[in-house]
A and B are shown apart, each in its own frame.
Chain A
Amino acid sequence: MSGVTLSNVQKRFGAVEVIHGVDLTVDDGEFVVFVGPSGCGKSTLLRMIAGLEDISGGEISIGGTTVNDVEPADRGIAMVFQSYALYPHMTVEQNLSFGLRMNGKPRDDIARRVTKAASILQIEPLLARRPKQLSGGQRQRVAIGRAIVREPDVFLFDEPLSNLDAELRVQMRVEIARLHKELGTTMIYVTHDQTEAMTLADKIVVLRDGRVEQVGAPLDLYDDPANRFVAGFVGSPRMNFMAAKVVDTTPGSVTIETDNHGSARLTLPVRQAFQTGDAVTLGIRPEHFGGPDGDGTRLTVNVDVAEHLGATSFVYANMATGEQLIIEREQSRSEMGKTELTITIPPARAYLFDSAGDRIR
């Protein structure tokens, strides 16, 4: 078992730089999730750790050893691909044992590893089948099994669940979490799905355009996002953002007024100094709005669409300027059919961002 360290890792495809100097430490036994929108470089970063892509700059070390020039197979990693990448002409058992057989492992050792992996993943009844004869979820298990038999120091997963349907995805997510608990091995997991990231990770790495935006425990990112991008990416439905202006400042606090939503005013404690007229963005999560009698600034919005899910409802309020608010309401059956909704913004739950998107504290 071992940790992974990235220092100033860069990747260029020809003249295009897609990873711009990533620094990261993955501790031994940690479950780290790389999350970010499609095309932000998650797979590239993972493939560089695996050795499937060359490193254009910087250094990657696994278990304390620099692996920049180490062959992929000798890095002590195992990877699960998004498309499973099973050997189509081999049975499940052959898929699991192929690498071991090719490397001349003793027969009883191979049998032991295959049996163990098959039992962990509950795929014993499938051992004689070909990938074609398996469902998506079963293929994914085999792909994970093929990683397990290598008994690696680090598992790498590249969006392993994205080809599965919603129900199976939840099920496999739980299984991967269980697997991590059972094996205790370092795992690096790539996904664009923040729910997967929140539920699986010990530590989330939020990536955007080849840069690390923030690293932290799931709830730390939720509670204390470093910038507007992370705030918008972590949490579902996403955080609401409202354009606002600074209308008054005192040492230790600032008063802002929203551009839309009836120019609601809000005074927030901040350390940073501001000038009247500065443009800022107010952020608040859908689940943090208060009811009409709650603390804080009162706001009345027009309801466009309301989705009632039973215990909770999501109310969508759109402004002509394109600003949209999503409001989560609990116990809201009495409000069904309303066209206007009065809510409050509790100052303790509000976030402020400057015009560059950085968090104002």
Chain B
Amino acid sequence: MRATTRTAYGFLTPYLLIFAAFWVWPIIYSFYLSFLSTRVQPWTFNPTFNWGRLIIDPAFFNAFKNTMIILVIQVPVMIALATLLAVLLNSHLLKARGIMRFAFFAPVVVGEVAYAAVFRLMFQADFGVINKLLALVGVAPISWSSNPTAAMALIITAVTWRWVGYNAIIILSGLQSIPEDVYEAATLDKVSKTRQFFFITLPLLRPIILVCVVLSVIGTMQLFAEPFLITNRGGPGGATETLGLFLYRQGFTVLNFGYASAVAYTIAAIAIVISVINFWLGRDPK
């Protein structure tokens, strides 16, 4: 090894050690843990114990189902909103574009606990502003925390609010990389603005939207803070329990690390499968 290379590795060592101890090792060790029976001491090697339970556990399937419902509704809605928002933020007609861009990006910067508290207040059944506003248009008060469907809608709304600006900024960067004269050429070709959006903007944004979809899928698969903080740990009665929350319960409430590890690996596997399907569906058609 050349001396300069050695020096470089010398500087990298502290980071690599921490990376190995807190990243690589837990990943390997949890895989091993998923094959152990960890309900009682001493832990024993029993490959079918956790994995066998996982495929028949109704609680796991409840969490899986909830996560998929959120995923299937929230991700498309949010990406569509983010795309529209990006187009608006890119518009020359918009005043104070810089401030607007920051404003929509800001929710990502706000702490989860603070934002969850605000959402709980806003969606409070008796004095929350949302129900007050709904009352103005004649909608009966909705019990956001005890109606399972409403609770789910609340989670989806919250997650969308938090991440839509973030995705819009990513999509905006894609919009800005489309040269203006392509649109001018289309205008001369007598293509309306709406059609320009569907036939030029969207196809050219496809790779970047795909990245946003995959990032959002991964995020939703790990969804934890919102059901934990806003709907009271997956309430009502497990109606908003997600895989992330289920994992947390198994690992840190019941302290069943083997089962939690199996759940963690399952979440990762599902996220990978969905992402691969996304990339495959969104590939460049030849």
Contact = CB atoms under 8 A, between A and B. Distances in A.
Interface of A: 50, 52, 71-74, 77-79, 81, 83, 85-89, 98-99, 102-103, 146, 150
A81 B203 contact: no
- The winner among B181, B188, B191, B199 for most chain A CB atoms within 10 A is B188
B182 A87 contact: yes
A275 B187 CA distance: 59
B195 A79 contact: no
Given A81-B181, A88-B182, A146-B185, A99 B191 contact: yes
Interface string B161-202: 000000000000000000101101111111100010001100
Interface string B37-67: 0000000000000000000000000000000
Contacts of B187: 52, 72-73
Contact of B181 (A85, A98, A146): A85
A102 B184 contact: no
Nearest to B204: A89
A71 B190 CA distance: 9
Nearest to A74: B190
A88 B191 contact: no
Contacts of A73: 187-190
Interface of B: 179, 181-182, 184-191, 195, 199-200, 203-204
A79 B204 contact: no
A103 B187 CA distance: 12
- The winner among A52, A71, A74, A78 for most chain B CB atoms within 10 A is A52
- The winner among B179, B181, B189, B195 for most chain A CB atoms within 10 A is B189
A98 B190 CA distance: 10
Question: Shortest 8 CB-CB distances between A and B: which pairs?
Answer: A99-B189, A73-B190, A85-B181, A85-B185, A89-B203, A102-B191, A81-B181, A85-B182
A87 B200 contact: yes
Given A83-B179, A85-B179, A89-B204, A102 B185 contact: no
A83 B203 CA distance: 20
A102 B204 contact: no
B2 to A, nearest CB: 40
A79 B204 CA distance: 22
Given A83-B179, A83-B181, A88-B182, A77 B188 contact: yes
Given A79-B185, A87-B200, A89-B204, A102 B190 contact: yes
A72 B195 contact: no
B202 to A, nearest CB: 10
A272 to B, nearest CB: 48
A81 B189 contact: no
A102 B195 contact: yes
- The winner among B184, B185, B190 for most chain A CB atoms within 10 A is B185
Contacts of B199: 98, 102
Contacts of B190: 71, 73-74, 99, 102-103
A79 B195 CA distance: 20
A71 B60 CA distance: 60
Nearest to B183: A85
11 contacts: A71-B190, A72-B188, A74-B190, A78-B188, A81-B185, A87-B185, A87-B200, A98-B199, A99-B191, A102-B189, A102-B195
A157 to B, nearest CB: 13
Contacts of A71: 190
Contacts of B204: 88-89
Contacts of B189: 73, 98-99, 102-103, 146, 150
Contacts of A86: 182, 185
A101 B270 CA distance: 42
A79 B190 CA distance: 13
Given A87-B182, A102-B195, A50 B188 contact: yes
A133 B92 CA distance: 33
Nearest to A82: B181
A25 B191 CA distance: 30
A89 B200 CA distance: 8
B200 A81 contact: no
A102 B185 CA distance: 13
A229 to B, nearest CB: 30
Contacts of A83: 179, 181
Contacts of A102: 189-191, 195, 199
B230 to A, nearest CB: 40
Contacts of A52: 184, 187-188
Contacts of A87: 182, 185-186, 200
A235 to B, nearest CB: 32
- The winner among B179, B186, B190, B204 for most chain A CB atoms within 10 A is B190
Nearest to B195: A102
A150 B188 CA distance: 10
A146 B188 CA distance: 11
